[in-house]
Structure 1
Amino acid sequence: MSSDMTSSAPPTSPPTAGLQRSLKRFDITAMAIAAVISFDTVGQIATGGGEAATWTAVIALFFLIPYALLFAETGAAFPQEGGPYVWVKLALGRPAAVLTTLFYWVTNPIWLGGSLVFLAAETWDGFVFHLGSGTFADYTFKLLFVWAAILTAVVSLRRGKWITTAGALVKVLCLVLFTATAVLYGVEHGFQGLTDARFTPTTAGFLGLVPILLFAYVGFEAPNAAGEEMHNPQRDVPAALGRSAAVAACCYLLPVLALLAVAPAGKVTGIGGFMEGARLVFSVYGGAAGPLLTLTAVMFVFALLTQGSAWMIVSDRMQAMAAADGGFFSRSLGVFHPRLGTPVRTNLLSGAVATVFMLAAMRLADGDAAAVFAVVLTVAVTTLLLSYLVVVPALVLLRLRRPDAVRPFRVPFGNPGFLICAGLVYAWILIGSWSALFPGVLESVVGLDYDFHEVWGVSRAAFEAFTLGTVVVLLLVGAAGLAVARRERAR
């Protein structure tokens, strides 16, 4: 770390022995792609019909670009280990940083033990090997999936980065293959899905798609959690974030368009949309379609696995730094392994949370995989988006209060440009958070019909108990963690 960087933003966390600088620009880009591009959301987005493509493009323009600018500047200016935890602590103090990090972190074991593992099991069951629902094979597959993702986060980053890099490459390859094959299928059979597709944006589509699209686009700052394991974060973070954001925008918009173009209207489902679309379009390969579809399914599951491990790598580091800094329960929880350079105890905690959540989700909605998938994903959307309600103001305060910080990259037009970008991002996050926590409320305000049970497959009472209950439990856990840590510091 340069002397300028040290003088402008002194480290706020204790030294982490054993860290090695192993991330270069390509590694940072690949890690962001592996973490952010979400196979589980491609089908979920496409359920919005033709206007899903419209809103995907609109939010890329008016949310993703200002979001990328904000985090590119802050990530290069404050590259300490822990990323957003450090930024919020510098701006708002330790308690706010601890609670924000808890919400940011817990999203990922919830997501891993919920939507990711359910989508992986559904894909494996339908295209590779029959597992059944609620069977011994089903439970075994899901447990192996969860703990394989955790173990890839436990290994040293010098080795683990290649697993996430492979996942990023496989993910992009799958999406490119699907999009190209859909074009071939459309040329041969016609783009029947476009006949009934309506690309005109509507208020109902907006309210239904905003939370999932924001969830799909956030997270490019995640590699900053390993800021002190980067070779040159001041130079590499802005470039890597820009490249990964551009790739992500294309990898969402093009497959969604391709899926809508070839799939019959109303046949796209959130849990099976991508692979069911692949089953349809791969028929252009004749006799090779079956083996190719199976191979694609295996690649699909591997990409999901590495997506989970990429988030475990970065979010576990954030949570570990909060503990090591004396803010969350015991400092021992944040210890980095002296040889591996990874927060093994936090990794194992993530695995335990993901396992518990997976087992609980298996029992939700009487085993209805589609309803479980939608509700679990909404919980993950909610906790992650809520964390940005604190992170974004922290970025603004750092910009205004620390003008002397060395900023290799700056948002155009100085403070006004930064504030405009932050305002746009915050407005989107507010809408997305409210829509995720209280679906149907804004619809009723603007006079739209909303059949809650038809949309979610569960009652509003069950939905709100699951989502709001999760938020309340997290706040209680965070308060307890702060109290225990305070007593430990006093001793």
Structure 2
Amino acid sequence: MPQAPSPRTHIPVPHLHRSLRRFDITAMGVAAVISFDTVGQIATGGGEAVTWTAVIAVLFLVPYALLFAETGAAFPQEGGPYVWVKRAFGRLPAALTTLFYWVTNPIWLGGSLVFIAAETWDGFVFHLGEGTLSDYAFKLLFIWIAILTAVVSLRRGKWITTAGAAVKVLALALFTGTAVAYGIGHGFRGLDSASFPPSTAGFLALVPVLLFAYVGFEAPNAAGEEMHDPQRDVPAALGRSALIAAACYLLPVFAILAVVPAGQVTGIGGFMEGARLVFGVYGSASGAVLTTVAVMFVFALLTQGSAWMIVSDRMQAMAAADGGFFSRSLGAFHPKLGTPVRTNLLSGVIATLFMLVAMRLAAGDAAAVFGVVLTVAVTTLLLSYLMVVPALVVLRLRHTDEPRPYRVPFGTPGFLISAGLVYAWILVGSWSALFPGTLEPVLGIPYDFHEVWGVSRLSFEVFTLGTVLVLLLIGAVGHTVARIRRVPEPVTA
């Protein structure tokens, strides 16, 4: 019987086409990382949300970008983080890490993204109602259009995500500029009650969602072998997209807080409610402009989900193709499209099921489900970095002979300091996402769990911890089945 490949061996994937250049990588990073659904959620933190957004940009985003710029350029293989963790720790840790990274995205697509898109469409474009046939139809279409854009070849699909990135930046710039004009004419009422000094309570509340907002710049590396020149393009593209992302969070959040009266900022409607207020400066055209921006908003959410499906499905497909998750056939790349169609369709099924379950649990309360579902997505994604970041350190220390076109400033000490900072943030964010309200009493900060989340602690933990345990079980079973069946075989459609 032929021997299985070593867990350190990277298996080339057929049917890939090099179609990503520096501009495409930058656009994909912007489309994936700038999260419209978290802009309003961040703004609910009040004035100190601006402060913490800036602080975390400096103390987390910068070292995070440096780490992944160096690693992404040095190890540009298809699968990105899956390959990095496998080379550092072996196939099983890589398979479990990839599962957590990947499943975040169908959960997110079928959870907060589709809910906020439906809420926006219902409130600003066309009435859907809650739990109606129209509501279900809209959400199903949203999910499956996002999946289909990931199914098409990357040569075509990249233009969809590029359009989404452009629309996203344009909408945020239009909103911010209009908010300034509104504030000049009507006064910046929100600033009167905003408190910008940082607090421990604000820190604990905002860290998980801010980290979730800033992570993901390594995502295009999942398509590393579809880039023309990853060694040169990844560091430059990552730097540009990180700067754009920081501006696209700071400015709109500040604009929302400046013009929306205190107490009226909501996570699910913060951006569009702010737009409804400030677009009054356009007079009789305000309705048409607001509707247009609402359509842009929904399109940006759609392409955001699509961008993550494109990259995370490739990671999960590589885990399957490498014999780390159930069957190699799940990792097959279509010979004409060059995309992991089976994994794409599996993501669509998971997103659909999660949406149906969320609607069932919602009992008509979209805002409560939005917060809990987003927390589940935050948790699974952040947990994956608990293994990815140490893998980067191991690769840096053990693979010193690997060519590194870009290096973190100050060499190995600079790399280790950056990794330590990033890991500390991830630890705090993961704990706060999994067990909200547990650090506050230790620090003498009052915390009413039901008032914050709209559900009991028991219900919340069943939803979040239950999701984590189920994923670990699925990952362990998937790896066991794959190990039993593992033989060298071609990855074909």
TM value normalised by structure 2: 0.97
What SS does the aligned partner of 1:367 have?
coil
The residue that corresponds to 1:127 in the other structure is 124
Residue 197 of structure 1, aligned match among 180, 194, 199: 194
Residue 41 of structure 1, aligned match among 14, 38, 42: 38
Are 1:224 and 2:221 counterparts? yes
Q: 1:11 deviation in Å?
A: 8.1
The residue that corresponds to 2:104 in the other structure is 107
Quickly say closer, same or farther: Cα 1:85–1:240, change in 2 above 3 A. same
> How far apart, in 1, do the equivalents of 2:59 and 2:361 lie?
36
Conserved in 2, the CA contact under 8 Å of 1:111 and 1:376?
Answer: yes
> How far apart, in 1, do the equivalents of 2:126 and 2:193 lie?
35
The residue that corresponds to 1:321 in the other structure is 318
Q: 1:243 deviation in Å?
A: 0.2
> How far apart, in 1, do the equivalents of 2:242 and 2:76 lie?
19
> How far apart, in 1, do the equivalents of 2:217 and 2:361 lie?
31
Q: 1:365 deviation in Å?
A: 3.7
Conserved in 2, the CA contact under 8 Å of 1:54 and 1:199?
Answer: yes
What SS does the aligned partner of 1:22 have?
coil
AA of the residue aligned to 1:414: G
> How far apart, in 2, do the equivalents of 1:272 and 1:358 lie?
19
AA of the residue aligned to 2:484: R
> How far apart, in 2, do the equivalents of 1:419 and 1:18 lie?
37
The residue that corresponds to 2:174 in the other structure is 177
Amino-acid identity (%): 81
Q: Deviations over 1:31-52 (max 9, x none)?
A: 0000000000000000000000
Are 1:26 and 2:19 counterparts? no
Q: 1:490 deviation in Å?
A: 5.8
The residue that corresponds to 1:12 in the other structure is 9
The residue that corresponds to 1:4 in the other structure is none
The residue that corresponds to 1:363 in the other structure is 360
Gaps of 5+ in 2: 1-6, 489-493
> How far apart, in 1, do the equivalents of 2:44 and 2:270 lie?
8
The residue that corresponds to 1:168 in the other structure is 165
Are 1:341 and 2:362 counterparts? no
> How far apart, in 1, do the equivalents of 2:23 and 2:205 lie?
35
What SS does the aligned partner of 1:67 have?
helix
The residue that corresponds to 2:61 in the other structure is 64
Q: Deviations over 1:212-268 (max 9, x none)?
A: 000000000000000000000000000000000000000000000000000001100
RMSD: 0.9
Residue 387 of structure 2, aligned match among 390, 400, 403: 390
Residue 206 of structure 1, aligned match among 199, 203, 207: 203
Residue 484 of structure 1, aligned match among 481, 484, 487: 481
Conserved in 1, the CA contact under 8 Å of 2:8 and 2:87?
Answer: no
> How far apart, in 2, do the equivalents of 1:463 and 1:363 lie?
15
The residue that corresponds to 2:251 in the other structure is 254
Conserved in 1, the CA contact under 8 Å of 2:8 and 2:90?
Answer: no
Are 1:118 and 2:118 counterparts? no
Q: Deviations over 1:352-391 (max 9, x none)?
A: 0000000000012422100000000000000000000000
Q: Deviations over 1:383-428 (max 9, x none)?
A: 0000000000000000000000000000011111100000000000
The residue that corresponds to 1:301 in the other structure is 298
AA of the residue aligned to 1:66: P
Q: 1:17 deviation in Å?
A: 1.2
AA of the residue aligned to 1:417: G
Matches within 5 A, 1:454-473: 454-473=451-470
Q: Deviations over 1:126-163 (max 9, x none)?
A: 00000000000000000000000000000000000000
AA of the residue aligned to 2:451: E
The residue that corresponds to 1:446 in the other structure is 443
What SS does the aligned partner of 2:363 have?
helix
Conserved in 1, the CA contact under 8 Å of 2:82 and 2:318?
Answer: yes
Conserved in 2, the CA contact under 8 Å of 1:365 and 1:458?
Answer: no
* Equivalent residues, number: 482
Quickly say closer, same or farther: Cα 1:159–1:11, change in 2 above 3 A. farther
